[in-house]
Amino acid sequence: MYKSRLKEKYTKEVAPDLKKALNYSSVMAVPKVEKVVVNVGLGTILRNGDEDLKNILGDIEGIVGQKPVITKSRKAVAGFKIREGVPVGAMVTLRGEKMYEFMDRLVNVVLPQVRDFRGVKRKAFDGKGNYNIGLKEQIVFPEITRDNIKTIFGMEVSIITSAKTNDEGYELLKRLGFPIVDKISQ
């Protein structure tokens, strides 16, 4: 069976290294990445109706290799001109091999493609060891051909870990190759 580069790196290098660095007695206690959630908000994008929605869902499916789930509004909000049951987002949850493949592409291919990229901020941890990255355009993914783009949209990538603190999450992601920097110069 095929094993992704990043998963192999985690099992052979990162987990034993973290076990020593964080003074764990068992490898099972070492923090690991549990899932990656890719979320796209469809708020102002859906002006042309179903055609835009199909294009966006196709782009997301091409990027992550899995069909997205459409999230719908639970109740009407007049201030945002949203009715109940209207599509407001699309999300994909990745686990296992697909998760490691996506993270590998994100770190080694996509993030270096971002304009003026100097690393991702350490502040993006949520207090429980999970990390969030916002991307402004889907164009940075190599799976998207620029000629076929009908709508440009951004996305949020949430990396959910089993780490209990931000420091443990930081150590895990740093060892996996994420370009996290403490301070980004202006």
pLDDT of residue 25: 87
Position 184 scores a pLDDT of 55
Low-confidence ranges of the chain (pLDDT < 70): 1-2, 44-51, 80-81, 183-186
Instruction: Give residue 36's pLDDT.
Output: 93
Q: What is the pLDDT of residue 159?
A: 92
Q: Give the pLDDT confidence of 145-166 residue by residue, as tens digits.
A: 777 777 788 889 999 999 888 8
Query: How many other CB atoms are found less than 10 A from the CB of residue 39?
Result: 19
pLDDT of residue 186: 46
According to CATH, the superfamily of the domain at 5-178 is Ribosomal protein L5 (3.30.1440.10)
State the Cα torsion 99-30-133-146 to the nearest 10°: -30
DSSP per residue over the chain, as a string?
----HHHHHIIIIIHHHHHHHTT-SSGGGS--EEEEEEEEE-TTTTTSTHHHHHHHHHHHHHHHSSPPEEEE-SS-BGGGTB-TT-EEEEEEEE-HHHHHHHHHHIIIIIHHHSTT---EEGGGB-SSS-EEEEES-GGGSTTS-GGG-S----EEEEEEES-SSHHHHHHHHHHTT--EES----
52-65 pLDDT, tens digit per residue, is 778 888 888 888 88
At 160 the pLDDT is: 93
What pTM does this model have? 0.85
The domain segmentation of the chain, as residue ranges, is 5-178
Give the pLDDT of residue 183: 65
Tell me the pairing of strands 120-121 and 180-181.
parallel
Residue 56's pLDDT is what?
83
